[in-house]
Amino acid sequence: MTTQELANQLVKLCKEGKFAEAVGSLYSDDVVSMEAGAPPGGSRESKGLDAVKAKGKWWEENHEVHGATVEGPLVAGSHFAVTFKLDVTFKPQNKRFTMEEVGVYKVKDGKVVYEEFFYDM
């Protein structure tokens, strides 16, 4: 799969709300994921597919997504970027907020091997 094809598939799945499916089908076993900030009690960096899946599970368990907009991809060589706008409630504090972020991804051998998210804390 080319970078463009993978990027298009990731955006398609994210627009359908299938974030876990995107990770499970498009990410390398050795993927590294970097957040702008660490989740409570966690690290900014997640290494390996199982760790990235666990981070996604934590997100789903602790957030209710009311709406999401996904735009992109913008592809350059082995990298691509996607923008996300999310209307979410952080369940433990019952705090609703809007979040805008940019995800930058690196592709190698047809799989995402690195992702980094940029957003205001």
**Sheet strands (E) in the chain:** 27-34, 45-47, 63-76, 79-90, 95-108, 111-118
Q: Pairing between strand 111-118 and 95-108? A: antiparallel
pLDDT of residue 42: 79
Give pLDDT tens digits for 16-69.
Answer: 989 999 999 999 999 999 999 887 787 899 999 999 999 999 999 999 999 999
pLDDT of residue 38: 85
Percentage of the chain surpassing pLDDT 90? 90
pLDDT of residue 41: 80
